[in-house]
Amino acid sequence: MDEQTRARTTRRGLIKVGAAAGAAIAAASRRGMVEAAPATSATVGRRAGRAQGDTLTVAYMESGTYDAAARAIAPEFEAAHGVAVEVVAFPYQNLHDNVATDLVTATGAYDVIDVAFQWDGEFAPYLVPLDDLVARDGIDGEAFIPNQWQLSGLWDGKRMGIPNANDAMGIIYRTDLYEAAGVAPPESWQQYNDNAAKLTKDGVYGASWVGLGEQLQGYWISRYWEQGKPLCDENWRPLFNGPEGVQAIELLREALAYTPEGMPGWGIPEHKNAVLNGEVAQGELWPSFIRADARDEAKSKIVGKWSLTPFPGPSELSAWNLAIPQTSDKQDLAWEWIKMYTSPENARRFADEFGIGSPQLATWSDPELVEKYPEYPAILTAIQAGKPIWRIPQFPAAWDVLQKELERTVYQGADPQQTLDTIAAEWNRLLDSNPPTAPYVE
């Protein structure tokens, strides 16, 4: 078994574990079998407290941004509260799987967790409601980008997490190579492919993305959404298994011809390194993961030779929030950590030092940051127009199917129509077994 196949096999095994844990969480919730004692925000402060030598464990996605920011403020938090901070970080899918397993087994390994908003419905039964604390400490929801405060960390009318990061996918491109090839930022995905054909030469590739399935679905969805059709109708019946879905697959397959060998096995770090090394002329990515490093001469070979543009089609919205598991015995300290990490001052600091997409509006209009990051207005517009993906408990199982089947058809040649029909049938089965209570909207 080669390294690329082994990596995909291991990742799929983890996804199965996470899907099983997610299903267990949903099933336990429906049966009233949540083992953790019910918590309200009023209980925060009455848990085991601030004894010297305690350790607050906070879990983030491993990205070199969100986790790096946590490590940067850990010494400040330790000095202020007399408690050690352990920052643990995992790649996206591993973070979900580890946290889901910890919540359903009530192990209590983490005091603060960074939650992708598509996990909100899955994790909500195991988190501490924060509404009372938000009111007590004057957290201003109007300071946040509206769709972030209304979506990320809010479930069933209760505030379960505080937004800490957001993004909308974009394309980073080599301005020097664009000029030499006589091409412009793409206004359609077909134009992106046309650019790729002209840019692929002299050891540089014209197209690239994060190859693994948990990211691949975002590239397919944008190409699908470009055609103006939602994924499902208002009754959650799939609409994507028609000509528009097939066309989105074909656009990806066409672009694949202009990507580096081995790219289907790339995670976020591998793709980021290829971009920074100047190996690709167009890269599809989350801007917050690249904008700071691409300007750093110690890390980037493309300083002064790149720019960012939003996706031609609507982007899948990325939104993250910090939450407190009910099993934490340091909930008071956990809330203090969340307040520190998500403060307006640190939102600006993290945007400046790490390129993190701030959920707070003031960051995006800061004159110094706009001068440093001239792509800010376009990316903010993309965030505000970004579309949320499912936030219901069925999300992990449904997206597991989507990811694996897209890999089969984009990379391994499976028939696109049969692939989409397989995904649609499985989505219908999942939704029929536990119907959502609200209409589907995008």
Q: Please report how the helices 66-81 and 331-341 are oriented relative to each other, as an axis angle in degrees rounded to 10.
A: 120
211 — pLDDT class (breaks 50, 70, 90): very high
pLDDT at 113: 98
**End residue of a domain, out of 259, 286, 310:** 310
101 close to 17: Cβ distance less than 8 angstroms: yes
Answer yes or no: do 155 and 189 share one domain: no
Q: 267-315, pLDDT tens digit by residue?
A: 999 999 999 999 999 999 999 999 999 999 999 999 999 999 999 989 9
Q: What is the pLDDT of residues 319-374, one digit of tens each?
A: 999 999 999 999 999 999 999 999 999 999 999 999 999 999 999 999 999 999 99
User: Which residue range(s) make up the domain with 223?
Assistant: 170-310
Q: pLDDT tens digits for 56-105? A: 999 999 989 999 999 999 999 999 999 999 999 999 989 999 999 999 99
CA dihedral 212, 218, 222, 223 (to 10 degrees): 30
Give yes or no: residues 13 and 154 share one domain: yes
Question: CA 21: distance to chain centroid?
Answer: 20
Judgement on whether residues 148 and 179 belong to the same structural domain of the protein: no
Say if 433 falls within a structural domain.
no
> For residue 166, what are the β-bridge partners?
319
Answer yes or no: is 145 within a domain: yes
Whether 10 and 81 map to the same domain: the answer is: yes
CATH of the domain at 138: 3.40.190.10
* Domain-ending residue, one of 275, 310, 345: 310
CA 256 from centre of chain:
23
Give the number of domains in the chain: 2
- Do both 157 and 277 map to the same domain? no
166 pLDDT exceeds 70?
yes
Clarify whether residues 287 and 248 are in a common domain: yes
pLDDT at residue number 405: 97
In a domain, 403, yes or no: no
Quick one: 10 and 126 in the same domain? yes
Q: Is residue 338 part of a domain?
A: yes
41 and 141, same structural domain? yes
* Final residue in a domain of this structure, among 263, 293, 310: 310
pLDDT tens, 98-121?
A: 999 999 999 999 999 999 999 999
319 vs 290: CA distance, rounded Å = 17
Residue 388 maps to a domain: no
- 379 touches 386 (CB < 8 A): no
Strands of the sheet containing 55-61, edge to edge, are: 84-90, 55-61, 112-116, 317-323, 162-168
- In this prediction the pTM is 0.81
In a domain, 408, yes or no: no
In the chain, how long is the greatest CA-to-CA distance?
A: 64
263 with 198, same domain: the answer is yes
| Same domain, residue pair 238 and 290 | yes
Whether 21 and 56 share a structural domain: yes
Are 198 and 77 found together in one domain? Answer: no
The answer to the question of residue 440 being in a domain is: no
With respect to residue 425, please indicate whether it lies within any of the assigned structural domains.
no
The overall average pLDDT reported for the chain is 89
